[in-house]
Amino acid sequence: MPRAPSKRHKRDGALVYEKLCDMREPVSIGLVGAGPWAGMVHAPAIAAGAHTRLAGVWARRPEASAELAAAHGSRSYDGLEELFDNCEAVAFAVPPNVQAELAIQAAKAGKALLLEKPLAMDLDGARALVEAVGEAGVVSQMVFTLRYSSAARDFLARVADLEPFGGYGQFVSSVFDGGPFATPWRLERGAILDLGPHIVDLLDAALGRVVSVRAHGDPLRWVGMLLEHESGAVSEASVSMAGRGELPPARIEVFGRQGVELLDWSKLGGDAFDRMITEFAHAVRTGEPHPLDAAHGLHIQQVLAQAEAQLLGP
């Protein structure tokens, strides 16, 4: 196992990280899951990463695991523990209830975690996972996809100069019409847990930590959320998975005393996943916490759980 970097290395930032990666073996990452998202994002990003290696794949369907592993020059494992024994970190691309259970096992095995949103299907599961991460002292990082793109980071940097006081976010998809992401948990719970994390996370980053939410609508049709931020700003988020036809791209607008800034999903580049994997490797190698860690994922899920509870009642 590679030796931990010194504090001197840690404080030198990205340049030293590049030097560290030149001297060290790539971070070996095991992948749990072999569905569409694992095949589209996780496996290719890890396998192609300059500082990562796809150590293997495990899935509940052995044939899917074997096919995905072979496509990226890796191996498929029959047992989860065997995968853990052959990697330093684990990436998850499974339904939230499965992730909550298996990621706790990985944390107890001392593995760094790359986690999907939401952390779990309910707050109890999300809290248990975050507690396990803390007790094990392992690195964790969330796949809040948009936050890793250059366009989103440039947007957030510009927003900081606006003296922002309000904003709006909208994300409408056609998942209910079918396709690879029309999975049982999405069809049952609707847009709040699937699309909500993207919008609420970006508004949280742009306007300050969300401290309260008031929701209206129907999770299986259209949901509106009024968010109040620690900064005093107020924002509105609208999400739906019941759209049809040609849908407009998701967007975030932030308004301030110095102007307005817009983030349009259609203008995002293709660099998000490469940066996500590189930053995960950095966190694993240095032990430095990532700002988009499991604790942040829990914060966003707590906001969404409050909204869902208001819509569904006791």
pLDDT tens digits, 245-259: 999 999 999 999 999
pLDDT tens digits for range 8-39: 333 334 443 454 444 378 999 999 999 999 99
Predicted local confidence at residue 121, as pLDDT: 97
Q: CATH 3.40.50.720 region(s) of the chain? A: 7-145+272-291
Quick one: three-class SS letters along the chain? CCCCCCHHHHHCCHHHHHHHHHHCCCEEEEEECCCHHHHHHHHHHHHHCCCEEEEEEECCCHHHHHHHHHHCCCCECCCHHHHHHCCCEEEECCCHHHHHHHHHHHHHCCCEEEECCCCCCCHHHHHHHHHHHHHHCCCEEECCHHHHCHHHHHHHHHHCCCCEEEEEEEEECCHHHCCCCCCHHHHHHCHHHHCHHHHHHHHHHHHCCEEEEEEEECCCCCEEEEEEECCCCEEEEEEECCCCCCCCCCEEEEEECCEEEEEEHHHCCCCHHHHHHHHHHHHHHHCCCCCCCHHHHHHHHHHHHHHHHHHHCC
CATH 3.30.360.10 boundaries in the chain: 150-266
Instruction: Give the homologous superfamily in CATH for domain 7-145+272-291.
Output: NAD(P)-binding Rossmann-like Domain (3.40.50.720)
- The model carries a pTM of 0.91
- Among residues 230, 219, 158, the alpha carbon closest in space to that of 192 is found at 219
Tens of pLDDT, residues 168-178: 999 999 999 99
Mean per-residue pLDDT for 99-123?
A: 98
In CATH terms, the fold of domain 150-266 is Dihydrodipicolinate Reductase; domain 2 (3.30.360)
